[in-house]
A and B are shown apart, each in its own frame.
Chain A
Amino acid sequence: MPTIFHLDMDAFFVSVEQLFDPSLKGKAVVVGGRPEERGVVAAASYEARKFGVHSAMPLRTAAQLCPHAIFLEGHPERYREVSAQVYEILKEFSPKVEIASIDEAYLDMTGTERLHGPPLKAAHALHETIKRRTGLNCSIGVAASRLVAKVASDLAKPNGVLWVLPGAEARFLAPLEVRRIPGVGRATEQVLLRLGVRRVGDLARLDESLLERKLGKWGLALAGKARGLDAGGWYDAEIGSAEEPKSISHEHTFGKDTDEAEVLEATLARLTQMVARRLREHALYARTVTLKLRYADFCTITRSRTLEHGTRVDAVLLAEVRSLFKRNWNGKRVRLVGVSVSSLAPAPGQLGLLDEDQRRRWEQALAAVDRLRDKFGESSVSLAASLGSAFRERAHENPAGLPGKRGRRKPD
């Protein structure tokens, strides 16, 4: 029987801010940006949540709900640093750690009883170690599957530990609303509601074939989840085996819509650099480059191009992004730009005859650049083209370089 921990940091961004500025403690704090700004809430303190503020909510809405809240832009570099610290602690508890996002992780604790004692004791030890070494609260769910562990950590919040005994999964899940199952969003919820299903227990009693007819493969997976199984896709993977990403992207929403070509291009250059860096962290090569433009009227276009060779060189990707931009931008004001890469592979594929030396030199140079960035921060080295875009990285813009996500950086 596996023992899985799901660890979730409590109000992570806010807690880190409070760590650096103790005067924020016990107050309604919202991280994400200024209240009059465009953008969304990245995190809210429990005091702010009482007023209905939650993450992914527009900042302006948050300001209406909780006008007295303290709005902060956030410090992505601090979050990364603390996240890395947490990761180090987790590794001391189990060799199989998978970082799910900047503030949550799964640990496979199977077979660690002799070292850490029974699950609940180990969970308390981990909980206390995190508090002692980082000063932060977290919640831990313990179960025989990822799914149940995740649901348990959610129910344990704030600052708690919850162990679901093996065999008790179905009984544990039954009274919960279906929305508690990760992956069930508004759409699935609507379908289920029409079937008269509101709680997980109702779902478990439903005929599997009916679920499959209504929701396809996802329906079958749901039937398994209702019983506490890790059914389907990523949930089936072993912890720490870190499934490869299918695409990597970065986006930026301008504080004010812009039609200045230099600003747009510089921003694209910066986003491209961030994407390329993540490619190298994952030891992957990309063949498809996609540009995303959202105009002031919310009309959004994406345009892609597939390259002959897989690459992870900033300059090569940027040349494509630029030419996509030049060919597709209609000159109007832009609200958001994004760069993403896909068709990812662990090897470059076909080698070039004419530019192989150049490619090798680029890769060596960029490896050196990445080492500098690891040491001195993301902005220590930039492509000249992106210098005009000193935009501050926003807390919700999926910060690059999550620790533990950089599985196997292999030299080329």
Chain B
Amino acid sequence: MEFTIRKADLVRELSLSQGVVEKKTTIPILSNVLLEAEHDQLVLTSTDLELGIRCACPAEVKRPGSGTLPARRLLDYVRLLPEADIHFKFQENQWASLVCGRSRTRIAGMSRESFPELPAMPPAVAQIPAGVLTSLIQRTIFAISLEESRFTLNGALLQVRPDRIVMVATDGHRLSLSEKPMDLASVPAPFRGLVPKKAMNELVKLCETLEPEAPVDFSADENHMFFQAGDRLLISRKLTGSFPDYERVLPVEHPHSVILEREEFRSSIDRVAQFSDERSHAIRLQFMPGELRIWASLSDTGESEENLAVVYDGPKVEAGFNAQYLADFLRVVSEEKVYFGFRDSASAGELRPAGEDLDYSYRYVVMPMRI
């Protein structure tokens, strides 16, 4: 195989595969990126067996062929080259020589024979704008559980329905549900699958290289989900197991609620949380007529309190919350006002963006703490 490629093109595409390539893998070939040159194009593929990404960019192909090179080392080196064309030539022994201006390098590769085969993408069932995917992911990804033992919570549930697309994640303490109404009448059958967290991170990276309106083709087979945008294809294995019946835990109604200024609420929580327990992040909220009191205290360190004026004339309700959980939501919401619904110190509270004409729905349910 022999080809010439622009440095900028190669760096851009290689960067996309870095998140997929495993840094510490027991299978050496998975640290490598598969390079395939054909028809004036270089196709780059990387995978960790759970997640795979395939991208392509124009190249001047002198001799078609394929080979693999260590992804990390290749990118680290190529980044340091001047903005110019790089010439690649692969030897029989799997070594590749790179020539760029006055720089000459030889890198040891591995045979492509042992590189895993990625599944082929079935015909697309839906087109989802890149911006929609990004928002759905950003509103839910932080609620994914980091507990490896709760493997069905290590990803988000993606649902593609004829009238909307839904993403929901929970770690068992809080639940984030994001919905975007869309005309997806072409969807042959409603889709439901668990997207691993790593795939969501890579999908956001991929979508951020696109215009928000740019369509991303979506399809799935029994074990995989496919997202394709132009020459880039992201393939993720579905997480197995069944996601909890989240609709059961969504509060039907809240006897009490307030509307809060997002920024004011967020910065109050951030300040008070400086005096919360480092591990539990426990703070207390007390709703009183006309006032929301937020406070935390650490016996050996100090205490902090904030009072926000709110429209509220219900009974006094006090509950403990993990400050981090509340802040996670307030960081991703862009509306200026948020709704906070609650019942008592032992029942789930709910945060939502507040506004008349939102073109999406977003519910964030958080269980309180018993301190």
Complex Cα distance A322/B141, Å? 31
Are the C-beta atoms of B174 and A353 separated by less than 8 Å? yes
In the complex, whether B147 has a CB less than 8 A from a CB of chain A is: yes
Residues 155-183 of A contacting B (Cβ, < 8 Å): none
Chain A residues with CB under 8 A of B244: 354
Render B353-370 as a binary contact track against A, CB cut-off 8 A, 1 for contact: 000000000000101111
In the complex, whether B172 has a CB less than 8 A from a CB of chain A is: yes
Give the size range of A's interface with the partner. Answer: 10 to 19
Known: A354-B170, A356-B367. A349 touches B282 (CB 8 A): yes
Choose from B147, B149, B171, B368 the contact partner of A351 (Cβ within 8 Å): B368
Choose from B172, B365, B371 the contact partner of A308 (Cβ within 8 Å): B172
Residues 157-178 of B contacting A (Cβ, < 8 Å): 170-175
Chain B residues with CB under 8 A of A350: 173, 280, 322, 367, 369
Are the C-beta atoms of B172 and A353 separated by less than 8 Å? yes
Are the C-beta atoms of B172 and A348 separated by less than 8 Å? no
Complex Cα distance A353/B248, Å? 10
In the complex, whether B29 has a CB less than 8 A from a CB of chain A is: no
In the complex, whether A355 has a CB less than 8 A from a CB of chain B is: yes
In the complex, whether B348 has a CB less than 8 A from a CB of chain A is: yes
Are the C-beta atoms of A308 and B348 separated by less than 8 Å? no
In the complex, whether A184 has a CB less than 8 A from a CB of chain B is: no
In the complex, whether B249 has a CB less than 8 A from a CB of chain A is: yes
Chain B residues with CB under 8 A of A352: 172-173, 367
Choose from B174, B175, B348, B370 the contact partner of A348 (Cβ within 8 Å): B370
Choose from A323, A347, A353 the contact partner of B367 (Cβ within 8 Å): A353
Report A82 CB to chain B, min CB distance, Å.
Answer: 37
Residues 319-333 of A contacting B (Cβ, < 8 Å): 323
Chain B residues with CB under 8 A of A349: 280, 282, 369-371
In the complex, whether B346 has a CB less than 8 A from a CB of chain A is: yes
**CB-based nearest B residue for A310:** B370
Report B243 CB to chain A, min CB distance, Å.
Answer: 10
Chain B residues with CB under 8 A of A356: 367
Complex Cα distance A354/B171, Å? 9
Report B113 CB to chain A, min CB distance, Å.
Answer: 36
Known: A308-B147, A308-B172, A308-B173. A353 touches B370 (CB 8 A): no
Report A316 CB to chain B, min CB distance, Å.
Answer: 12
Residues 312-371 of B contacting A (Cβ, < 8 Å): 322, 346, 348, 365, 367-371
Q: Which of A308, A323, A350, A354 has the most CB of B within 10 A?
A: A350
Q: Is the interface of A mostly helix, strand, loop or mixed?
A: loop
Residues 353-403 of A contacting B (Cβ, < 8 Å): 353-356
Q: Which of B147, B171, B174, B368 has the most CB of A within 10 A?
A: B171
Report A280 CB to chain B, min CB distance, Å.
Answer: 16
Are the C-beta atoms of B370 and A351 separated by less than 8 Å? yes
Are the C-beta atoms of B322 and A353 separated by less than 8 Å? no
**CB-based nearest B residue for A352:** B172
Chain A residues with CB under 8 A of B249: 353-354
Report B349 CB to chain A, min CB distance, Å.
Answer: 11
**CB-based nearest A residue for B368:** A351
Report A283 CB to chain B, min CB distance, Å.
Answer: 12
Residues 293-328 of B contacting A (Cβ, < 8 Å): 322
Chain B residues with CB under 8 A of A308: 147, 171-173
Chain A residues with CB under 8 A of B368: 351
Residues 122-167 of B contacting A (Cβ, < 8 Å): 147, 149
Choose from B282, B348, B369 the contact partner of A353 (Cβ within 8 Å): B348
Complex Cα distance A401/B41, Å? 76
Complex Cα distance A323/B148, Å? 13
Report A349 CB to chain B, min CB distance, Å.
Answer: 6
Complex Cα distance A33/B348, Å? 54
Q: Which of B174, B175, B280, B322 has the most CB of A within 10 A?
A: B280
Known: A353-B348, A353-B365. A347 touches B172 (CB 8 A): no
Report A50 CB to chain B, min CB distance, Å.
Answer: 52
Complex Cα distance A349/B280, Å? 8
Complex Cα distance A348/B173, Å? 13
Are the C-beta atoms of A353 and B173 separated by less than 8 Å? yes
Complex Cα distance A323/B150, Å? 14
Complex Cα distance A308/B149, Å? 11
Chain A residues with CB under 8 A of B346: 351
Chain B residues with CB under 8 A of A353: 170, 172-175, 249, 348, 365, 367
Q: Which of B149, B172, B174, B280 has the most CB of A within 10 A?
A: B172
Complex Cα distance A347/B322, Å? 14
Complex Cα distance A354/B367, Å? 10
Chain A residues with CB under 8 A of B172: 308, 352-355
Complex Cα distance A97/B369, Å? 33
Report A326 CB to chain B, min CB distance, Å.
Answer: 13
Q: Which of A323, A347, A349, A352 has the most CB of B within 10 A?
A: A349
Chain A residues with CB under 8 A of B173: 308, 350-353
Report A389 CB to chain B, min CB distance, Å.
Answer: 25
Report B139 CB to chain A, min CB distance, Å.
Answer: 17
Report B155 CB to chain A, min CB distance, Å.
Answer: 15
Chain B residues with CB under 8 A of A354: 170, 172, 244, 249
Complex Cα distance A349/B283, Å? 11
Chain A residues with CB under 8 A of B174: 353
Complex Cα distance A348/B282, Å? 12
Report B167 CB to chain A, min CB distance, Å.
Answer: 17
**CB-based nearest B residue for A355:** B172
Chain A residues with CB under 8 A of B370: 347-349, 351
Residues of chain B at the chain A interface (Cβ within 8 Å): 147, 149, 170-175, 244, 249, 280, 282, 322, 346, 348, 365, 367-371
> Told that A308-B147, A353-B367, A354-B172 touch, could you supply 7 new A-B pairs with CB distance under 8 A?
A308-B171, A349-B280, A349-B282, A349-B370, A350-B173, A352-B367, A353-B365
Top 10 nearest A-B pairs (CB, nearest first) are A351-B367, A347-B370, A353-B367, A350-B369, A348-B370, A354-B244, A354-B172, A350-B173, A352-B172, A353-B249
Residues of chain A at the chain B interface (Cβ within 8 Å): 308, 323, 347-356
22 A-B residue pairs with Cβ-Cβ distance under 8 Å, sorted by A, are: A308-B172, A308-B173, A347-B370, A347-B371, A348-B370, A349-B280, A349-B282, A349-B369, A350-B173, A350-B280, A350-B322, A350-B369, A351-B367, A351-B369, A352-B173, A352-B367, A353-B170, A353-B174, A353-B367, A354-B170, A354-B172, A354-B249
